[in-house]
Chain A
Amino acid sequence: MSQKTTALFNLHQKLGGKIVDFNGWSLPIQYEGITVEHKAVREAVGLFDVSHMGEVEVKGKDAEAYIQKLITNDVATLANNQVLYSLMCYHNGGIVDDLLVYRFTADYFLLVINASNIDKDLKWMRDNQMNYQVEVNNVSDKISEIAIQGPKAELVLQKLTDYDLATINFFYFRDNLNIAGANCLVSRTGYTGEDGFEIYLKHQDAEKVYEELMKAGEKEGIKPAGLGARDTLRFEATLPLYGNEINEDITPLEAGLGFFVKLDKHSFNGKDVLVKQKEEGIKRRLVGFEMLDKGIPRHGYQVMSDKGDEVGFVTTGYQSPTLRKTIGLAIVSSKYSDIETPINIQVRNKLVKAKVISKKFYQKKYKK
Protein backbone atom coordinates (compact mmCIF):
# COMPACT_ATOMS: atom_id res chain seq x y z
CA MET A 1 0.00 0.00 0.00
CA SER A 2 1.46 3.33 -0.99
CA GLN A 3 1.64 6.08 1.60
CA LYS A 4 -0.93 8.84 1.28
CA THR A 5 0.13 12.44 1.72
CA THR A 6 -1.92 15.53 2.46
CA ALA A 7 -1.77 18.81 0.52
CA LEU A 8 0.44 20.15 3.34
CA PHE A 9 3.12 17.44 3.12
CA ASN A 10 5.83 19.66 1.60
CA LEU A 11 5.12 22.35 4.15
CA HIS A 12 5.50 19.86 7.02
CA GLN A 13 8.93 18.92 5.72
CA LYS A 14 9.89 22.55 5.34
CA LEU A 15 8.80 23.20 8.95
CA GLY A 16 11.00 20.34 10.19
CA GLY A 17 8.17 17.91 10.87
CA LYS A 18 9.20 14.37 11.74
CA ILE A 19 7.08 12.32 9.35
CA VAL A 20 5.65 8.97 10.41
CA ASP A 21 3.19 6.48 8.99
CA PHE A 22 -0.21 7.03 10.61
CA ASN A 23 -2.66 4.43 9.31
CA GLY A 24 -1.24 4.73 5.80
CA TRP A 25 -0.87 8.53 5.94
CA SER A 26 2.49 10.29 6.00
CA LEU A 27 1.96 12.88 8.72
CA PRO A 28 4.19 14.74 11.20
CA ILE A 29 4.32 13.24 14.69
CA GLN A 30 6.11 16.37 15.90
CA TYR A 31 8.10 19.41 14.76
CA GLU A 32 9.97 20.96 17.71
CA GLY A 33 8.83 18.44 20.29
CA ILE A 34 5.58 17.13 21.73
CA THR A 35 5.79 19.05 25.02
CA VAL A 36 6.54 22.41 23.41
CA GLU A 37 3.69 21.98 20.94
CA HIS A 38 1.35 20.77 23.66
CA LYS A 39 2.16 23.82 25.76
CA ALA A 40 1.67 26.19 22.81
CA VAL A 41 -1.88 24.88 22.36
CA ARG A 42 -2.70 25.09 26.08
CA GLU A 43 -1.28 28.59 26.50
CA ALA A 44 -1.39 30.25 23.08
CA VAL A 45 -2.24 28.63 19.76
CA GLY A 46 -1.23 25.64 17.62
CA LEU A 47 -1.92 24.53 14.08
CA PHE A 48 -2.69 20.94 13.07
CA ASP A 49 -3.04 19.29 9.68
CA VAL A 50 -5.99 16.93 10.05
CA SER A 51 -6.64 16.47 6.35
CA HIS A 52 -6.57 12.70 6.78
CA MET A 53 -9.98 12.81 8.48
CA GLY A 54 -12.85 11.37 6.41
CA GLU A 55 -15.85 13.35 5.24
CA VAL A 56 -19.11 11.86 4.03
CA GLU A 57 -22.03 13.82 2.61
CA VAL A 58 -25.54 12.61 3.32
CA LYS A 59 -28.19 14.22 1.11
CA GLY A 60 -31.83 13.56 0.43
CA LYS A 61 -35.27 13.81 1.96
CA ASP A 62 -34.64 10.98 4.45
CA ALA A 63 -31.19 12.27 5.49
CA GLU A 64 -32.19 13.07 9.06
CA ALA A 65 -34.10 9.82 9.63
CA TYR A 66 -31.22 7.82 8.14
CA ILE A 67 -28.59 9.48 10.37
CA GLN A 68 -30.92 9.05 13.33
CA LYS A 69 -30.83 5.29 12.70
CA LEU A 70 -27.03 5.27 12.40
CA ILE A 71 -26.00 7.29 15.45
CA THR A 72 -26.59 7.16 19.20
CA ASN A 73 -27.01 10.91 19.76
CA ASP A 74 -30.17 12.79 18.72
CA VAL A 75 -29.68 14.50 15.37
CA ALA A 76 -33.21 15.96 15.56
CA THR A 77 -31.97 18.44 18.17
CA LEU A 78 -29.67 20.09 15.62
CA ALA A 79 -30.41 23.47 14.07
CA ASN A 80 -28.94 24.43 10.71
CA ASN A 81 -25.22 25.23 11.07
CA GLN A 82 -24.93 23.20 14.25
CA VAL A 83 -22.52 20.32 14.94
CA LEU A 84 -23.16 17.18 16.99
CA TYR A 85 -20.69 14.68 18.47
CA SER A 86 -21.94 11.11 18.39
CA LEU A 87 -21.07 7.45 18.32
CA MET A 88 -22.12 5.07 15.57
CA CYS A 89 -22.77 1.53 16.81
CA TYR A 90 -23.21 -1.94 15.41
CA HIS A 91 -26.35 -3.86 16.40
CA ASN A 92 -24.40 -5.45 19.26
CA GLY A 93 -23.62 -2.03 20.76
CA GLY A 94 -19.93 -2.11 19.77
CA ILE A 95 -18.68 1.15 18.30
CA VAL A 96 -18.15 1.46 14.54
CA ASP A 97 -16.72 4.95 14.91
CA ASP A 98 -17.15 8.29 16.63
CA LEU A 99 -18.02 11.23 14.44
CA LEU A 100 -19.15 14.81 14.06
CA VAL A 101 -22.44 15.54 12.29
CA TYR A 102 -22.69 18.92 10.55
CA ARG A 103 -26.23 19.98 9.64
CA PHE A 104 -26.57 22.31 6.65
CA THR A 105 -30.31 21.74 6.20
CA ALA A 106 -32.76 18.98 7.09
CA ASP A 107 -31.82 17.15 3.89
CA TYR A 108 -28.07 17.85 3.79
CA PHE A 109 -25.49 16.76 6.38
CA LEU A 110 -21.74 16.25 6.47
CA LEU A 111 -20.32 13.46 8.66
CA VAL A 112 -16.68 13.74 9.75
CA ILE A 113 -15.19 10.34 10.57
CA ASN A 114 -11.83 8.84 11.53
CA ALA A 115 -9.30 8.33 8.74
CA SER A 116 -8.59 4.73 9.72
CA ASN A 117 -12.29 3.86 9.63
CA ILE A 118 -13.38 5.35 6.31
CA ASP A 119 -13.84 2.07 4.38
CA LYS A 120 -15.50 0.28 7.26
CA ASP A 121 -17.82 3.20 8.04
CA LEU A 122 -18.90 3.54 4.42
CA LYS A 123 -19.68 -0.15 4.19
CA TRP A 124 -21.78 0.07 7.35
CA MET A 125 -23.55 3.23 6.13
CA ARG A 126 -24.35 1.58 2.78
CA ASP A 127 -25.55 -1.62 4.52
CA ASN A 128 -27.96 0.58 6.44
CA GLN A 129 -29.23 2.58 3.47
CA MET A 130 -32.11 0.17 2.71
CA ASN A 131 -35.19 2.14 1.69
CA TYR A 132 -34.01 5.53 2.92
CA GLN A 133 -34.13 8.19 0.20
CA VAL A 134 -30.54 9.34 0.65
CA GLU A 135 -27.36 9.77 -1.27
CA VAL A 136 -24.17 8.86 0.61
CA ASN A 137 -21.00 10.38 -0.93
CA ASN A 138 -17.48 9.85 0.33
CA VAL A 139 -15.83 13.23 -0.27
CA SER A 140 -12.76 12.52 1.92
CA ASP A 141 -10.33 12.83 -0.99
CA LYS A 142 -11.58 16.29 -1.92
CA ILE A 143 -11.21 18.08 1.40
CA SER A 144 -8.23 19.36 3.40
CA GLU A 145 -8.67 20.18 7.07
CA ILE A 146 -6.66 22.48 9.32
CA ALA A 147 -7.33 22.78 13.06
CA ILE A 148 -6.34 25.98 14.87
CA GLN A 149 -6.54 25.37 18.61
CA GLY A 150 -5.77 27.28 21.79
CA PRO A 151 -6.84 30.37 23.74
CA LYS A 152 -5.46 32.65 20.99
CA ALA A 153 -7.05 30.72 18.11
CA GLU A 154 -9.93 33.14 17.58
CA LEU A 155 -7.66 36.19 17.71
CA VAL A 156 -5.33 34.74 15.07
CA LEU A 157 -8.00 33.40 12.72
CA GLN A 158 -9.91 36.68 12.96
CA LYS A 159 -6.98 38.47 11.31
CA LEU A 160 -7.65 36.54 8.11
CA THR A 161 -11.40 37.08 7.78
CA ASP A 162 -13.99 39.87 7.90
CA TYR A 163 -16.59 37.52 9.34
CA ASP A 164 -17.10 38.06 13.07
CA LEU A 165 -15.92 34.74 14.53
CA ALA A 166 -17.35 35.60 17.94
CA THR A 167 -20.78 34.90 16.41
CA ILE A 168 -19.86 31.23 15.87
CA ASN A 169 -20.74 29.47 19.10
CA PHE A 170 -19.22 26.25 20.42
CA PHE A 171 -20.24 23.37 18.13
CA TYR A 172 -21.65 25.62 15.39
CA PHE A 173 -20.22 26.34 11.92
CA ARG A 174 -20.38 28.77 9.01
CA ASP A 175 -19.92 27.78 5.41
CA ASN A 176 -18.44 29.87 2.57
CA LEU A 177 -16.27 32.03 4.79
CA ASN A 178 -13.45 33.90 3.15
CA ILE A 179 -10.23 33.00 4.98
CA ALA A 180 -7.15 34.61 3.38
CA GLY A 181 -8.99 34.58 0.07
CA ALA A 182 -10.00 30.92 0.24
CA ASN A 183 -13.54 29.61 0.55
CA CYS A 184 -13.76 27.66 3.81
CA LEU A 185 -16.16 25.94 6.16
CA VAL A 186 -15.26 26.90 9.73
CA SER A 187 -16.58 25.22 12.88
CA ARG A 188 -15.86 26.03 16.51
CA THR A 189 -14.81 22.48 17.32
CA GLY A 190 -11.61 20.61 18.12
CA TYR A 191 -9.84 17.74 19.81
CA THR A 192 -7.66 19.44 22.42
CA GLY A 193 -9.90 20.67 25.24
CA GLU A 194 -9.19 24.27 24.22
CA ASP A 195 -11.20 26.82 22.31
CA GLY A 196 -10.50 26.69 18.58
CA PHE A 197 -11.70 26.06 15.09
CA GLU A 198 -11.57 23.41 12.43
CA ILE A 199 -11.28 24.71 8.89
CA TYR A 200 -12.39 22.62 5.90
CA LEU A 201 -11.11 23.75 2.52
CA LYS A 202 -9.98 22.71 -0.95
CA HIS A 203 -6.55 21.08 -1.33
CA GLN A 204 -5.36 23.90 -3.60
CA ASP A 205 -5.98 26.46 -0.83
CA ALA A 206 -4.52 24.47 2.08
CA GLU A 207 -0.88 25.61 1.85
CA LYS A 208 -1.79 29.26 1.46
CA VAL A 209 -4.21 29.30 4.41
CA TYR A 210 -1.77 27.34 6.62
CA GLU A 211 1.08 29.72 5.81
CA GLU A 212 -1.10 32.80 6.31
CA LEU A 213 -2.18 31.46 9.71
CA MET A 214 1.45 30.87 10.71
CA LYS A 215 2.24 34.46 9.76
CA ALA A 216 -0.87 35.91 11.41
CA GLY A 217 -0.08 34.09 14.65
CA GLU A 218 3.60 34.94 14.89
CA LYS A 219 3.15 37.49 17.67
CA GLU A 220 0.86 35.14 19.59
CA GLY A 221 3.49 32.39 19.47
CA ILE A 222 1.70 30.06 17.08
CA LYS A 223 3.39 26.69 16.54
CA PRO A 224 2.78 23.87 14.11
CA ALA A 225 1.66 20.86 16.15
CA GLY A 226 1.90 17.21 15.22
CA LEU A 227 0.02 14.01 15.94
CA GLY A 228 2.02 13.52 19.16
CA ALA A 229 0.69 16.68 20.79
CA ARG A 230 -2.75 16.04 19.33
CA ASP A 231 -2.82 12.78 21.29
CA THR A 232 -1.48 14.14 24.59
CA LEU A 233 -3.91 17.09 24.39
CA ARG A 234 -6.99 15.01 23.65
CA PHE A 235 -5.93 12.53 26.34
CA GLU A 236 -5.69 15.18 29.09
CA ALA A 237 -9.12 16.45 28.06
CA THR A 238 -10.43 12.82 28.21
CA LEU A 239 -11.58 12.91 24.60
CA PRO A 240 -11.72 9.32 23.37
CA LEU A 241 -9.55 8.00 20.56
CA TYR A 242 -10.93 5.28 18.33
CA GLY A 243 -8.75 2.19 18.73
CA ASN A 244 -7.89 3.13 22.32
CA GLU A 245 -10.85 4.09 24.53
CA ILE A 246 -13.45 2.94 22.01
CA ASN A 247 -13.61 0.12 19.47
CA GLU A 248 -15.89 -2.57 18.10
CA ASP A 249 -15.78 -4.50 21.39
CA ILE A 250 -16.53 -1.56 23.67
CA THR A 251 -19.94 0.09 24.02
CA PRO A 252 -20.42 3.85 24.52
CA LEU A 253 -21.81 3.19 28.02
CA GLU A 254 -18.71 1.26 29.04
CA ALA A 255 -16.54 4.06 27.66
CA GLY A 256 -18.36 6.64 29.83
CA LEU A 257 -19.99 8.27 26.81
CA GLY A 258 -23.60 7.79 27.95
CA PHE A 259 -24.20 11.52 27.54
CA PHE A 260 -24.00 11.01 23.78
CA VAL A 261 -26.42 8.06 23.80
CA LYS A 262 -30.09 9.02 23.78
CA LEU A 263 -31.81 5.85 24.85
CA ASP A 264 -35.23 7.56 24.67
CA LYS A 265 -34.74 8.02 20.93
CA HIS A 266 -37.19 6.00 18.77
CA SER A 267 -34.83 3.43 17.30
CA PHE A 268 -31.15 3.26 16.37
CA ASN A 269 -28.52 0.62 15.75
CA GLY A 270 -27.45 -0.95 19.02
CA LYS A 271 -30.30 0.52 21.08
CA ASP A 272 -31.66 -2.80 22.37
CA VAL A 273 -28.28 -3.96 23.63
CA LEU A 274 -27.49 -0.59 25.22
CA VAL A 275 -30.88 -0.40 26.98
CA LYS A 276 -30.30 -3.88 28.36
CA GLN A 277 -26.76 -3.03 29.42
CA LYS A 278 -28.01 -0.01 31.32
CA GLU A 279 -30.80 -2.00 33.03
CA GLU A 280 -28.53 -4.85 34.06
CA GLY A 281 -25.72 -2.57 35.18
CA ILE A 282 -22.53 -1.74 33.33
CA LYS A 283 -19.94 -4.39 34.13
CA ARG A 284 -16.80 -2.53 33.12
CA ARG A 285 -16.05 1.16 32.86
CA LEU A 286 -13.50 3.63 31.62
CA VAL A 287 -11.61 5.12 34.59
CA GLY A 288 -8.76 7.50 35.13
CA PHE A 289 -5.77 6.40 37.19
CA GLU A 290 -2.57 7.83 38.54
CA MET A 291 0.70 5.94 38.88
CA LEU A 292 1.98 5.83 42.46
CA ASP A 293 5.34 4.30 41.56
CA LYS A 294 7.63 4.81 38.58
CA GLY A 295 6.69 3.50 35.16
CA ILE A 296 4.66 4.73 32.23
CA PRO A 297 1.40 2.96 31.45
CA ARG A 298 0.86 2.33 27.75
CA HIS A 299 -2.04 1.29 25.57
CA GLY A 300 -2.75 -2.43 26.04
CA TYR A 301 -0.98 -2.95 29.38
CA GLN A 302 -2.90 -5.17 31.81
CA VAL A 303 -4.58 -3.81 34.94
CA MET A 304 -4.29 -6.18 37.91
CA SER A 305 -6.04 -6.27 41.28
CA ASP A 306 -4.09 -6.46 44.52
CA LYS A 307 -4.98 -10.18 44.58
CA GLY A 308 -3.25 -10.66 41.22
CA ASP A 309 -6.35 -11.01 39.02
CA GLU A 310 -6.50 -9.30 35.66
CA VAL A 311 -9.29 -6.72 35.98
CA GLY A 312 -8.86 -4.57 32.88
CA PHE A 313 -6.54 -2.91 30.39
CA VAL A 314 -4.94 0.46 29.80
CA THR A 315 -6.40 2.40 26.86
CA THR A 316 -3.99 5.39 26.95
CA GLY A 317 -1.26 6.56 29.32
CA TYR A 318 1.23 9.40 29.45
CA GLN A 319 3.35 11.49 31.66
CA SER A 320 0.90 14.39 31.31
CA PRO A 321 2.69 17.46 29.91
CA THR A 322 0.28 19.87 31.62
CA LEU A 323 -0.16 18.11 34.97
CA ARG A 324 3.38 16.66 35.22
CA LYS A 325 1.89 13.46 36.63
CA THR A 326 1.88 10.01 35.10
CA ILE A 327 -1.74 9.20 34.45
CA GLY A 328 -3.80 6.92 32.29
CA LEU A 329 -7.20 5.79 31.16
CA ALA A 330 -8.23 2.15 31.54
CA ILE A 331 -11.28 -0.02 31.08
CA VAL A 332 -11.72 -1.97 34.32
CA SER A 333 -14.28 -4.21 35.93
CA SER A 334 -16.85 -1.94 37.65
CA LYS A 335 -15.84 -3.38 41.04
CA TYR A 336 -12.55 -1.51 40.61
CA SER A 337 -13.93 1.73 39.21
CA ASP A 338 -14.46 3.76 42.41
CA ILE A 339 -12.15 6.72 43.01
CA GLU A 340 -9.15 5.81 45.23
CA THR A 341 -9.40 2.07 44.46
CA PRO A 342 -5.86 0.63 44.47
CA ILE A 343 -4.92 -1.10 41.21
CA ASN A 344 -1.67 -2.28 39.63
CA ILE A 345 -0.41 -1.80 36.11
CA GLN A 346 1.66 -4.55 34.52
CA VAL A 347 4.56 -2.58 33.06
CA ARG A 348 6.56 -5.22 31.21
CA ASN A 349 7.76 -7.65 33.92
CA LYS A 350 6.90 -5.37 36.84
CA LEU A 351 3.66 -4.62 38.66
CA VAL A 352 3.45 -0.90 39.36
CA LYS A 353 1.07 0.52 41.97
CA ALA A 354 -1.61 2.96 40.85
CA LYS A 355 -4.96 4.27 42.07
CA VAL A 356 -8.21 5.18 40.38
CA ILE A 357 -8.76 8.95 40.10
CA SER A 358 -11.35 11.12 38.39
CA LYS A 359 -10.86 10.93 34.64
CA LYS A 360 -11.50 14.65 34.30
CA PHE A 361 -7.76 15.28 34.26
CA TYR A 362 -7.95 18.69 32.66
CA GLN A 363 -10.73 21.30 32.89
CA LYS A 364 -11.75 21.96 29.28
CA LYS A 365 -11.61 25.61 28.24
CA TYR A 366 -14.41 25.80 25.69
CA LYS A 367 -16.10 29.12 24.88
CA LYS A 368 -19.76 28.42 25.42
Chain B
Amino acid sequence: MKAIVLKGLLYSKHHEWIKVEGDRAYIGITDYAQGSLGEIVYLELPAEGDQFKEGETFGVIESVKAASDAYMPFRGTVVEVNEELEDAPEKVNNSPYENWLIAVEIADESELEDLMKDEEYQEFCVKEE
Protein backbone atom coordinates (compact mmCIF):
# COMPACT_ATOMS: atom_id res chain seq x y z
CA MET B 1 0.00 0.00 0.00
CA LYS B 2 1.51 3.31 -1.09
CA ALA B 3 1.72 5.95 1.60
CA ILE B 4 -0.19 9.18 1.01
CA VAL B 5 1.80 12.38 0.50
CA LEU B 6 -0.11 15.68 0.39
CA LYS B 7 0.71 18.64 -1.79
CA GLY B 8 1.36 22.01 -0.17
CA LEU B 9 3.15 20.62 2.88
CA LEU B 10 6.85 20.44 3.67
CA TYR B 11 8.50 17.22 4.80
CA SER B 12 11.49 16.25 6.95
CA LYS B 13 13.76 13.26 6.54
CA HIS B 14 12.36 11.93 9.83
CA HIS B 15 8.94 11.67 8.17
CA GLU B 16 7.27 14.69 9.70
CA TRP B 17 5.00 16.97 7.74
CA ILE B 18 5.08 20.73 8.30
CA LYS B 19 2.32 23.15 7.44
CA VAL B 20 3.45 26.77 7.52
CA GLU B 21 0.94 29.49 8.42
CA GLY B 22 2.68 32.86 8.78
CA ASP B 23 5.39 32.62 11.42
CA ARG B 24 3.86 29.49 12.86
CA ALA B 25 4.17 25.88 11.73
CA TYR B 26 2.04 22.84 12.51
CA ILE B 27 4.02 19.60 12.76
CA GLY B 28 2.65 16.09 12.42
CA ILE B 29 3.86 12.72 11.23
CA THR B 30 3.32 11.44 7.71
CA ASP B 31 1.24 8.53 6.50
CA TYR B 32 4.47 6.69 5.79
CA ALA B 33 5.59 7.24 9.40
CA GLN B 34 2.34 6.07 10.98
CA GLY B 35 2.35 3.02 8.68
CA SER B 36 5.82 1.94 9.67
CA LEU B 37 5.25 2.63 13.38
CA GLY B 38 2.06 0.58 13.52
CA GLU B 39 -0.70 1.19 16.04
CA ILE B 40 0.10 4.25 18.15
CA VAL B 41 -0.92 3.85 21.78
CA TYR B 42 0.62 6.86 23.47
CA LEU B 43 2.16 10.23 22.60
CA GLU B 44 4.53 12.10 24.84
CA LEU B 45 4.45 15.72 23.73
CA PRO B 46 6.31 18.80 25.00
CA ALA B 47 4.82 21.70 26.94
CA GLU B 48 3.96 25.10 25.54
CA GLY B 49 6.98 27.35 25.72
CA ASP B 50 9.54 24.56 25.29
CA GLN B 51 12.31 25.50 22.88
CA PHE B 52 14.07 23.06 20.59
CA LYS B 53 16.94 23.18 18.14
CA GLU B 54 16.79 21.50 14.77
CA GLY B 55 17.19 17.72 15.16
CA GLU B 56 16.31 17.64 18.86
CA THR B 57 13.71 15.22 20.17
CA PHE B 58 10.51 17.09 20.92
CA GLY B 59 8.34 14.09 21.71
CA VAL B 60 8.01 10.34 21.76
CA ILE B 61 5.57 8.24 19.80
CA GLU B 62 4.78 4.89 21.40
CA SER B 63 3.39 2.16 19.19
CA VAL B 64 2.32 -1.23 20.54
CA LYS B 65 5.81 -2.48 19.82
CA ALA B 66 8.24 0.33 20.54
CA ALA B 67 8.97 3.95 21.43
CA SER B 68 10.16 6.23 18.62
CA ASP B 69 11.45 9.77 18.90
CA ALA B 70 9.87 12.70 17.08
CA TYR B 71 12.47 15.20 15.85
CA MET B 72 12.24 18.94 15.51
CA PRO B 73 12.64 19.81 11.82
CA PHE B 74 13.90 23.36 12.54
CA ARG B 75 14.55 25.66 15.50
CA GLY B 76 11.47 26.95 17.28
CA THR B 77 9.30 27.41 20.34
CA VAL B 78 6.23 25.30 21.03
CA VAL B 79 3.14 27.54 21.11
CA GLU B 80 0.42 24.91 21.10
CA VAL B 81 0.12 21.18 21.81
CA ASN B 82 -2.63 18.99 20.40
CA GLU B 83 -3.95 17.73 23.71
CA GLU B 84 -6.82 15.91 22.04
CA LEU B 85 -4.36 13.21 21.06
CA GLU B 86 -3.56 12.39 24.66
CA ASP B 87 -6.70 10.28 24.98
CA ALA B 88 -7.01 9.34 21.32
CA PRO B 89 -3.55 8.67 19.91
CA GLU B 90 -5.05 6.33 17.29
CA LYS B 91 -6.25 9.44 15.43
CA VAL B 92 -2.70 9.83 14.16
CA ASN B 93 -2.98 6.40 12.51
CA ASN B 94 -6.42 7.07 11.11
CA SER B 95 -5.77 10.56 9.66
CA PRO B 96 -2.13 11.54 10.03
CA TYR B 97 -2.48 14.81 8.09
CA GLU B 98 -5.48 16.04 10.06
CA ASN B 99 -3.87 15.54 13.44
CA TRP B 100 -0.91 17.76 14.07
CA LEU B 101 1.14 17.11 17.19
CA ILE B 102 2.48 20.57 17.98
CA ALA B 103 2.38 24.12 16.66
CA VAL B 104 5.71 25.94 16.69
CA GLU B 105 6.84 29.52 16.33
CA ILE B 106 9.54 29.39 13.67
CA ALA B 107 12.82 30.91 14.88
CA ASP B 108 14.43 31.37 11.47
CA GLU B 109 12.49 30.94 8.26
CA SER B 110 15.62 30.20 6.24
CA GLU B 111 15.83 26.83 8.03
CA LEU B 112 12.69 25.74 6.17
CA GLU B 113 14.69 25.66 2.95
CA ASP B 114 16.26 22.34 3.92
CA LEU B 115 12.87 20.62 4.04
CA MET B 116 11.44 18.57 1.16
CA LYS B 117 8.46 19.36 -1.07
CA ASP B 118 5.88 16.63 -1.71
CA GLU B 119 7.47 15.18 -4.87
CA GLU B 120 10.91 15.03 -3.34
CA TYR B 121 9.50 13.40 -0.22
CA GLN B 122 7.62 10.82 -2.26
CA GLU B 123 10.93 9.78 -3.86
CA PHE B 124 12.58 9.79 -0.44
CA CYS B 125 9.97 7.30 0.82
CA VAL B 126 10.54 4.97 -2.13
CA LYS B 127 14.27 4.91 -1.31
CA GLU B 128 13.54 4.12 2.33
CA GLU B 129 11.66 0.93 1.38
* B118 smallest CB distance to A (angstroms): 24
Say yes or no: is B49 at the interface (Cβ < 8 Å to chain A). no
B66 touches A34 (CB 8 A): no
Task: Tell me which residues from 45 to 91 in chain B have a Cβ below 8 Å from any Cβ of chain A.
Answer: 60, 62, 64-67, 86
Chain A at the B interface: SS class = mixed
A34 touches B42 (CB 8 A): no
Measured between beta carbons, the chain B residues less than 8 angstroms from A30 are 38
A298 touches B64 (CB 8 A): no
Question: How far is it, in angstroms, between the C-alpha of A228 and the C-alpha of B65 when the chains are bound?
Answer: 7
* A115 smallest CB distance to B (angstroms): 19
Measured between beta carbons, the chain B residues less than 8 angstroms from A18 are 36
Say yes or no: is B41 at the interface (Cβ < 8 Å to chain A). yes
Question: How far is it, in angstroms, between the C-alpha of A321 and the C-alpha of B38 when the chains are bound?
Answer: 13
B65 touches A29 (CB 8 A): yes
Q: Interface digits, A15-49 against B, CB 8 Å rule (1 contact, 0 not)?
A: 00010000000000110011100000000000000
* Minimum CB distance partner of A33 in chain B: B39
Say yes or no: is A294 at the interface (Cβ < 8 Å to chain B). yes
Measured between beta carbons, the chain B residues less than 8 angstroms from A33 are 38-39
A298 touches B42 (CB 8 A): no
* Minimum CB distance partner of A38 in chain B: B64
A298 touches B39 (CB 8 A): no
Q: Which of A29, A231, A232, A348 contacts B60 (CB 8 A)?
A: A348
Measured between beta carbons, the chain A residues less than 8 angstroms from B62 are 296, 319
* A228 smallest CB distance to B (angstroms): 5
Q: Interface digits, B77-119 against A, CB 8 Å rule (1 contact, 0 not)?
A: 0000000001000000000000000000000000000000000
Measured between beta carbons, the chain A residues less than 8 angstroms from B60 are 348
* A318 smallest CB distance to B (angstroms): 7
Question: How far is it, in angstroms, between the C-alpha of A296 and the C-alpha of B42 when the chains are bound?
Answer: 8
Say yes or no: is A295 at the interface (Cβ < 8 Å to chain B). yes
Measured between beta carbons, the chain B residues less than 8 angstroms from A228 are 38, 64-65
* Minimum CB distance partner of A319 in chain B: B41
* B91 smallest CB distance to A (angstroms): 16
B39 touches A35 (CB 8 A): yes
A294 touches B42 (CB 8 A): yes
Measured between beta carbons, the chain B residues less than 8 angstroms from A29 are 65
Measured between beta carbons, the chain B residues less than 8 angstroms from A318 are 64
Question: How far is it, in angstroms, between the C-alpha of A341 and the C-alpha of B20 when the chains are bound?
Answer: 49
Q: Interface digits, A278-299 against B, CB 8 Å rule (1 contact, 0 not)?
A: 0000000000000000111010
A34 touches B67 (CB 8 A): no
B42 touches A295 (CB 8 A): yes
A232 touches B64 (CB 8 A): yes
* B34 smallest CB distance to A (angstroms): 11
Instruction: Show the binding face of B for A, using Cβ within 8 Å.
Output: 36, 38-39, 41-42, 44, 60, 62, 64-67, 86
Task: A30-B38, A34-B39, A35-B64 are known; give 8 further A-B pairs, CB within 8 A.
Answer: A29-B65, A232-B64, A295-B42, A295-B44, A296-B41, A296-B62, A296-B67, A348-B44
